[in-house]
Amino acid sequence: MPGHYHAVVWIDQSRARVFHFTVDEADRKTIRPDHSVRDVSHGEKRTGHRVPEDREFLERVAEAISGAGAILIEGPAQEKDELAKFLAQKHPAIWTHVEGVESAGHPTDGELLDHARRFVEAADRMRPQT
């Protein structure tokens, strides 16, 4: 998104909420996987095997944040770590812009943006002033 240096991604297995933002405004995009999410809590036998990550889903998320100069990744479970690992392996140019990977429950859009703005403000203070 033009003019938005920062991005935050909140991701779980059912969707990714991507915000490109400045201090005053934000653009939101929601990305969903092409497959339906299985609910293993309703009668499915748990095998202890993890479902492999959805590379197409992660690729679309990577594309959505590719233009950001500073990225924060958040989420409640392993998907945030899968995205971080995917970026490090498949998109090292994007990975260099990831400033943090944090656990987060299910915040509202406003809560997520407030946290992301505070996070990048602190990170921006750590950068050399040019």
- In whole numbers, what is the pLDDT of the chain averaged over residues? 85
pLDDT in tens, 36-59: 655 444 445 555 544 556 899 999
* CATH numeric code, 6-31+53-126: 3.30.420.60
pLDDT score recorded for residue 130 = 56
pLDDT score recorded for residue 75 = 96
**To which H or E segment does residue 112 belong?**
helix 109-126
- The strand pair at 26-31 and 16-21 is best described as antiparallel
pLDDT score recorded for residue 43 = 47
pLDDT score recorded for residue 83 = 97
The residue extents of the domains of the chain are: 6-31+53-126
